[in-house]
Amino acid sequence: MIILGIDPGSRKAGYALIDVQGKKISYIASGVLKYDHVDEFLERLGMIYQTCDELMNRYQPDEVSVEALIYVKSVDALSKLAQARGAMIAAFSRTRLGKIYEYAPNAVKSSVTGHGHADKDAINKAMTMMFGKLTFKTSDESDALAIAVCHALNRNMKLRLMGKTV
């Protein structure tokens, strides 16, 4: 089973793909989608949708895991993040409706490091311990990998809570 993990953002977003076979988790690919070169926010939303749709077509993941909204100080930043996340989920829903899952940032950190308030360095270290020497362009990329791993580790419990057959 291929899982796509997404660390959403309105200027850049991290993505990572893993393959889960039983208890074995293998790294496939990861990267950063950049949107900050598009000044007009509404145009950026279209680009966000398009790049996420292209990710789905390229890798054909079975399930998608997305980080839930985080607390930000600026209402404007939260609004833009929510809209960007909505564009992403809309793109994923075209082919994976019912196969999209979200995880709170603290749940992701706790799943991969054992501590819900772990910092970016701890997440990066946990991912390199799990998958070997990986070089991440930004913390968005390592966070996306952590989100995918969190889903792999918690999916059976999440599916049972949702009333779905495991």
Binding residues for Mg(2+): 7, 67, 140
67 given a catalytic annotation: yes
36 is catalytic: no
Tokens in use for 69?
Answer: 């909204």
Q: Which of 7, 63, 102, 141 is catalytic?
A: 7
Active site residue 119: no
Active-site entry in 40, 43, 62, 67? 67
Distance CA 108, CA 105 (A): 5
Per annotation, catalytic residue among 63, 102, 140, 141: 140
Going by C-beta distance under 8 Å and a sequence separation of 6 or more, which residues neighbour residue 151?
Answer: 3, 5, 63, 65, 101, 103, 158
Please state the residue numbers annotated as binding site: 7, 67, 140
Nearest-10 Cα torsion for 92, 98, 104, 109: -80
From the number of C-beta atoms within 10 Å of its C-beta (0-12, 13-18, 19+), residue 120 rates as middle
Catalytic residues: 7, 67, 140
